[in-house]
């Protein structure tokens, strides 16, 4: 008897990924709350959405913070990887997560405030065309676009994943999760709708180009190493016979995408326009949190994936750091708008941060992490202060409108002066300690010429900070000048948080420096 016998084979067993839920619980809480927030928009009555979204967002961030504290208290010093080693929960990632959660809390408070701008900083009906009668009418109403709250939670969770991603594909997905909500939120300003929507379009278009660079670099590196995991790329770079052309072409394209997100010059073209046009609470959120996440990703990529090839690419990043410092310091001198001035300040600070990031030593990592902590809180409070100076058209951000501000509001002028001095790196502020530890790491790594250039750029940048201080204290206010709005509870809490952290880290920075210096990247 003949026949065809088919031998049944047992199906291959696929092991489920080992997931350490306590380690990633903060991210899961934020993502879950963001999804619930979307349902709130669909099912809650319009008049109840603001209260529901604010309560949900604050509870989610606080709950994620509690889960974070519980895990940090019990976590091993060395760190771990989870989800098929796509997420690394190590000490640098935990430091960045704690920073992002606290900054996210402050930013959410700024976003939720409805007293500085009646009804909040966000337009009630985003579909109304700017400049029309309906647009002017709704600017005077008390409605608010509450979709910003789940978008904020999605962006914040994407930032946390981004700085803990252990492979490039996960990092790219996190990059899109954090970027897409920001593109939308930039165009929702209640006032100055045209410039706000222009900022959103510019950010989206340039962000799409940067994402394409990142993805193309990822593809080249996969072709080189046969893997998107950072450790596998590092192993291939250390002993592969493949052409180094793929390696360094992929690295260059990848770094362009990362530097764009960190607003490092000369990849900064979006920063001044977007900072100026976006609603100021969103500008504060971007300036503080996105910078932390972007440099967290840069540190992980350079340290874990490309440390062995540092001699080949460090010269290029030297040039990038110098360009960023010079662009930020010099062009900041020419600005007449406070928000654009702070944008160029951000570009200069990105150059300073890059000094620590390319040091490739423990002191450089800890110094950069500490600098991110200090810069984030100072910037958050500074933009919160900017939102309080207003005239009949909304925020008064032209420098001429800030003349004599100390006579109108001595408290706000004193707070903003302290924050500007911190950005300039004056002693007894967190900015001085941050620059000191980053520049010290650079000198220890043999980058003394770069540190000298950074010190010169810091001195130049200090001029436009001092110019604002002189304008506030030594000029007469115009009779029809702007007024200072009494901040609501949320805005007061956010500004107070930023000022207190800036002061405490300037006086007693040891505990934060110790935490930033414990542990290394897991892979």
pLDDT at 139: 58
Which residues are CB-neighbours of 183 under 8 A, at least 6 positions away?
200, 203, 204, 207
Q: Cα separations (Å) of 115 from 45, 110, 387, 388, 390?
A: 22, 10, 11, 10, 13
The total of other beta-carbon atoms located within 10 Å of residue 81's CB is 21
pLDDT of residue 487: 86
> Cα(164)–Cα(122) distance, rounded to whole angstroms?
31
Mark out the alpha helices in 262-303 (DSSP H runs). Answer: 271-277, 280-285, 291-300
Q: DSSP states of 87-155 as a string?
A: EEE-HHHHHHHHHHHHHHHHHHHHHH--TTTTT-SB-S-TTSPTTSHHHHHHHTS----TTHHHHHHHH
307: nearest Cα among 520, 150, 452: 520
Do the bridges between strand 80-82 and strand 87-89 make them parallel or antiparallel, or are there none, so unpaired? antiparallel
Retrieve residue 263's tokens: 């607003």
CA distance 89 to 161: 10
What pLDDT shows up at residue 311?
83
Q: What pLDDT is stored for residue 401 in this prediction?
A: 86
- Which one, of 298, 299, 352, lies nearest residue 325 by Cα? 352
Count Cβ atoms below 10 Å from residue 484 Cβ, excluding itself: 17
pLDDT over 80 at 479, yes or no: no
Q: Phi and psi for 247 in degrees, rounded to 5? A: -60, -55
- Per-residue tokens: 300: 């992980």
pLDDT of residue 134: 61
Minimum mean pLDDT among 9-13, 20-24, 279-283, 339-343: which range?
9-13
Q: How confident is the model at residue 60 (pLDDT cuts 50, 70, 90)?
A: very high
Q: Per residue in 227-273, pLDDT tens?
A: 899 999 988 888 766 678 888 899 999 999 999 999 898 888 889 99
pLDDT digits (tens, 9 = 90+) for 154-187: 999 999 999 999 999 999 999 999 999 999 999 8
Q: Which residue has the higher pLDDT, 127 or 186?
A: 186
pLDDT digits (tens, 9 = 90+) for 349-397: 999 999 999 988 888 899 999 999 999 999 999 999 998 988 777 778 8
Residue 5 pLDDT > 50, yes or no?
no
In angstroms, the Cα distances linking 271 to 44, 234, 300 are 36, 32, 23
Over the stretch 299-350, which tens digit does the pLDDT of each residue have?
Answer: 999 999 888 887 888 889 999 999 999 999 999 999 889 999 999 999 999 9
Residue 6, pLDDT above cutoff 50:
no
Tokens of 264: 């490092």
Band (1; pLDDT cuts 50, 70, 90)? very low
Rounded Cα–Cα distance for residues 161 and 181 (Å): 15
Pairwise pLDDT comparison (519 vs 496), residue with the higher score: 496
Asked whether the predicted pLDDT for residue 118 surpasses 80, the reply is: no
- Identify the helix (H) or strand (E) that includes residue 417: helix 410-424
Averaged pLDDT for residues 29-44: 93
Handedness of CA 16, 21, 23, 28 (dihedral sign): positive
Confidence check: pLDDT of 7 > 60: no
How confident is the model at residue 285, as a pLDDT? 94
Note the pLDDT tens digit of each residue in 66-117: 999 999 988 766 678 888 888 989 899 999 999 999 999 999 999 998 887 7
Structure confidence at residue 133 (pLDDT): 61
Q: Please say if the pLDDT value at position 213 is more than 90.
A: yes
* Strand 483-484 with 394-395, pairing: unpaired
Share of the chain above pLDDT 70, in %: 91
């Amino acid at each position: 008897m003949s026949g065809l016998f088919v031998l049944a084979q047992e199906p291959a067993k696929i092991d489920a990924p080992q997931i350490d839920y306590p380690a990633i619980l903060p991210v899961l809480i934020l993502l879950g709350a963001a999804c619930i927030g979307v349902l709130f928009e669909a099912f809650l009555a319009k008049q109840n959405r603001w209260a529901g979204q604010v309560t949900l967002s604050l509870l989610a961030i606080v709950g994620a913070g509690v889960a974070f504290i519980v895990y940090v208290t019990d976590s091993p010093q060395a760190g771990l990887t989870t989800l098929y080693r796509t997420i690394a929960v190590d000490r640098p990632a935990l430091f960045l997560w704690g920073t992002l959660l606290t900054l996210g809390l402050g930013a959410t408070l700024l976003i939720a405030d409805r007293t500085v701008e009646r009804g909040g900083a966000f337009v009630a009906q985003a579909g109304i065309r700017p400049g029309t009668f309906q647009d002017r009418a709704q600017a005077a109403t008390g409605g608010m676009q509450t979709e910003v709250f789940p978008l904020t939670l999605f962006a914040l969770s994407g930032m946390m994943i981004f700085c803990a991603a252990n492979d490039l594909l996960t990092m790219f997905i996190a990059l899109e999760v954090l970027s897409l909500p920001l593109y939308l939120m930039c165009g929702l300003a209640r006032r100055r709708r045209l410039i706000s929507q222009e900022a959103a379009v510019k950010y989206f278009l340039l962000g799409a180009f940067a994402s394409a660079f990142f993805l193309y670099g990822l593809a080249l590196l996969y072709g080189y190493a046969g893997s998107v995991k950072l450790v596998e790329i590092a192993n291939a770079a250390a002993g592969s016979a493949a052409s180094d052309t793929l390696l360094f072409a992929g690295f260059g394209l990848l770094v362009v995408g990362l530097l764009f997100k960190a607003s490092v010059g000369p990849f900064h073209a979006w920063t001044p326009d977007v900072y100026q046009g976006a609603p100021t609470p969103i500008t504060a959120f971007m300036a503080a949190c996105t910078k932390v996440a972007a440099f967290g990703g840069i540190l992980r990529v350079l340290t874990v994936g490309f440390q062995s090839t540092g001699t080949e690419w460090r010269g290029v990043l030297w040039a990038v750091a110098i360009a960023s410092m010079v662009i930020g310091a010099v062009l900041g001198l020419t600005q007449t708008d406070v928000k654009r001035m702070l944008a160029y300040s951000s570009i200069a600070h990105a150059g300073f941060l890059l000094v620590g990031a390319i040091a490739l030593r423990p002191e450089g990592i800890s110094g950069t992490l500490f600098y991110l902590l200090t810069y984030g809180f100072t910037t958050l409070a500074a933009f919160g202060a900017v939102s309080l100076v207003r005239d009949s058209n909304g925020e008064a951000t032209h420098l001429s409108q800030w003349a004599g501000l100390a006579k109108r509001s001595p408290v706000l002028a004193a707070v903003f002066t302290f924050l500007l001095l911190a950005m300039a790196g004056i002693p007894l502020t967190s900015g001085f300690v941050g620059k000191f530890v980053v520049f010290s790491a650079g000198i220890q790594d043999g980058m003394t010429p770069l540190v000298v250039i950074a010190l010169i750029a810091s001195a130049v940048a200090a001029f436009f900070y001092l110019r604002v201080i002189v304008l506030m204290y030594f000029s007469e206010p115009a009779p029809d000048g702007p007024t200072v709005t009494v901040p609501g509870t949320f805005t007061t809490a956010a500004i107070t948080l930023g000022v207190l952290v800036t002061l405490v880290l300037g006086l007693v920075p040891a505990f934060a420096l110790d935490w930033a210096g414990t542990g290394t990247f897991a892979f």
